[in-house]
Amino acid sequence: MLLEDGFIRSLGLGVNGSPVFSIVEDDVGIYYDATVVSKLENLLNSDEVFADAALLKQASSAIEFIQTHNLSKYNQAWLYDSLELHQDENRVLVVAQTAGDSSLAYGLGNQFTTDQMINAAISENPDAAIYLKVHPDVLSGKKQSDIQLSTLPKSIQVLTEDVNPVSLLKQFVKVYTKTSQMGFEALMLGKPVVCFGMPFYAGWGLTDDRVSCSRRVKKRTVEEVFAAAYILYSRYANPFTFEPSSLEETMRFMADTRDKLLLNAGNWSIYGVSKWKRGFIDDFLGFKSSVKYINSLPELLSISLNESFSEHHQSSNKIKNKILIWAASYNSEIENHFATQNEKVYLLEDGFLRSVGLGINHARPLSLVIDSRGMYYDCSKESDLEHILNFDEFDQYSLDRAQVLIKQLVALKLTKYNLKSKKQTRQACLDSILNAKTQDKTIVLVPGQVESDASIKKGSPNIKTNLDLLHSVASKVKNAFVIYKPHPDVLTQLRPGELLSAEAFYDLQITDMDMADLLELVDEVHTMTSLTGFEALLRGKKVVCYGLPFYAGWGLTQDVLSCERRQRRLSLEELVIGALIKYPTYCDTKTGHLIDVETAVELLAQQKEKGEQLLPWRKRIVRWLRVNLLKKIGLIKKK
């Protein structure tokens, strides 16, 4: 059995250690060896395989997805629109490869030199501009090219920029190659392809072949070759969850993470991030970013944001230095300073599917949000999330994806922090609720919040304390059984929000119970701005908002306040597309690689099964000392 990388391999380059998502397995030969038969060749020579209409429909849909999202074997590269080419020229592309590549030796590509292929492209296309594309492994400095650039005719224009292959191919009318996979990607785009070797897709009537293979006797369509190579011949798995995957799931992962990688690329100056968070912020920004941490406000205000080039990018990919601030550290002085310079400031905050355990306990997050307009909890101004929810078009593919995601979150009982319930607490709560239901009472959950939290300051202009919220609920809901659940950060005694004498406003207080378990038992959730309201919507519960959290104002909640900017009416699936798929960035806590939301959900489920990891003993001692100091100076009330 021979193994090799698959045709949609990874986000980054294999030579840089990017995790692999697909392999091909062959117990006959291997696909790039045209000197002998291979399993893939046998598939393509068989008519029986392609009698399956569903297989060909799957192939056609996958090709369309690849065309739309510009997916290739490696997916770290910039899109083609970063290059400046003459729009009116007739362009032909010659694809160079790496010196000594096995596909050249075994794919009959060494019968011709790359110079001969280039000369053929020139003579056969006298009215065209000829471009040469250098292999990405050569651009990374890991391998040598199969051609000396110094010997090229002066008329040849060399593309040394790291650009996306599929988006690049869209700009050419014809492609010349020996055995590169780019030749097949050109076929998927409907481009004529000339092969000076015998790659897996040559010899089937699709290409202009300068060498031949007598074993390849069938005429095949692009969809048939794709189905054989990408679906039947390849195997897919998620290297983060260690679970089998599919072509479609792999393509979705590449599209999501590549978009985030390029969106977050740049030179970042980061302010307001505590030391323990500095261990993972770089990972969320991706390997196309460079990071400098700012330790003081004067240093931040002295930064000059001039046009520059990142050391991680080729010269054509011009980017600017950018400011990134942890949202809680952002203030009017910073805002006014950069506003006068007409410079954009990006804000950073935890995402909505965060971790198993609390941030205050230094549990590393799986998601963060980076916002270029504001922040999702600040109802006074538009955020990137609000912009998505107001203006983005939601196609059927995304709606179907969101629907599956909702079902997974509910079935796996996942929320923001994913703390396990104590069995005795859950049973006691269940007994109390069952007793209340016998009295036809509405079971109302009031989630407590950290009263100093920015989401209350910026998103709840009228009600700002847990006590005031409980009082409002008591006056609003009649014949209710009210459950109050303090915020877990408040229970650590390090954040304000504790209720010392509010028993008259609730019937039951719950502490040691997972929010997902609790939401199964209640009828309604009443909240200022808590994420629990969003989690309740996912479970089909009625939600009443006394502030303006990001999920209010779209017709899904009963709102005490209104936001005139939010005019659109959304479905639950559309809200989930914005809040969980498009807005956050997800990152594997172990490897530091970017992931998609589905991978994050599976990892959260795996971590929840193992349980929350306790703080190291030294940090627990520091916490105990800190709590007692705060009590002593009166910032925390003694029980």
Q: In 271-325, which ranges are continuous DSSP H helix?
A: 281-285, 297-301
What is the structure's pLDDT at 505?
Answer: 84
CB 365 within 8 A of CB 351: yes
Local structure of 619: helix, strand or coil: helix
Distance CA 249, CA 238 (A): 9
Buried b (16+ CB within 10 A) or exposed e, 151-185: ebeeeeeebebbbbbbbbbbbbebbbbbbbbbbbb
Please list, in sequence order, all residues whose beta carbon lies within 8 angstroms of the beta carbon of residue 126, skipping any fewer than 6 positions away: none
C-alpha atoms less than 13 angstroms from C-alpha of 229 in its C-beta half-sphere: 27
pLDDT under 50: residue ranges of the chain: 307-317, 638-639
Structural domain ending residue among the three candidates 239, 271, 305 = 239
Name the token pair of 569: 């009416």
Write the single-letter amino acid at 621. Answer: I
Local structure of 368: helix, strand or coil: strand
In degrees and rounded to multiples of 5, residue 253 shows phi and psi of -60, -50
Please list, in sequence order, all residues whose beta carbon lies within 8 angstroms of the beta carbon of residue 489, skipping any fewer than 6 positions away: 358, 359, 360, 450, 495, 497
Look at residues 141, 174, 157 and name the one whose alpha carbon lies nearest to residue 16. 141
Look at residues 531, 608, 522, 526 and name the one whose alpha carbon lies nearest to residue 575. 531
β-bridge partners, 321: 267
Distance CA 547, CA 534 (A): 13
What is the structure's pLDDT at 146?
Answer: 72
The residue assigned the tokens 């941490």 is: 293
For 367, the enclosing helix (H) or strand (E) is strand 367-371
Distance CA 605, CA 588 (A): 13
CB 374 within 8 A of CB 601: no
Please list, in sequence order, all residues whose beta carbon lies within 8 angstroms of the beta carbon of residue 85, skipping any fewer than 6 positions away: 91, 171
CB 285 within 8 A of CB 263: no
Distance CA 262, CA 414 (A): 29
Distance CA 98, CA 142 (A): 10
In a domain, 185, yes or no: yes
Name the token pair of 600: 């994050």
What is the structure's pLDDT at 610?
Answer: 85
What is the structure's pLDDT at 177?
Answer: 97
Please list, in sequence order, all residues whose beta carbon lies within 8 angstroms of the beta carbon of residue 488, skipping any fewer than 6 positions away: 358, 417, 419
Name the token pair of 286: 């991706």
Longest dimension (CA), the chain: 90
In a domain, 462, yes or no: yes
In a domain, 354, yes or no: no
DSSP string, 67-132: HHHT--SB--SBPGGGS---TTS-EEEEE--BTT-HHHHHTTGGGS-HHHHHHHHHHH-TTSEEEE
In a domain, 17, yes or no: yes
CB 168 within 8 A of CB 159: yes
CB 550 within 8 A of CB 449: no
What is the structure's pLDDT at 136?
Answer: 74
Distance CA 477, CA 305 (A): 53
Domain total in the chain: 2
Structural domain ending residue among the three candidates 186, 214, 239 = 239
What is the structure's pLDDT at 616?
Answer: 58
In a domain, 322, yes or no: no
Structural domain ending residue among the three candidates 199, 220, 239 = 239
Name the token pair of 235: 């195997």
Tell whether the torsion through CA atoms of 230, 234, 240 and 241 is positive or negative.
positive
What is the structure's pLDDT at 381?
Answer: 94
Look at residues 550, 547, 562 and name the one whose alpha carbon lies nearest to residue 351. 550
What is the structure's pLDDT at 621?
Answer: 66
Look at residues 327, 326, 307, 325 and name the one whose alpha carbon lies nearest to residue 266. 307
Distance CA 135, CA 180 (A): 9
Distances (CA, A) of 602 to 276, 293, 400: 25, 32, 18
Measured in whole angstroms, the distance separating CA 49 from the mean position of its chain's CA atoms is 35
In a domain, 434, yes or no: yes
- DSSP collapsed to 3 states, 148-191: CHHHCCCCCEEECCCECHHHHHCCCCEEEECCCCHHHHHHHCCC
Q: Which domain holds residue 58?
A: 2-239
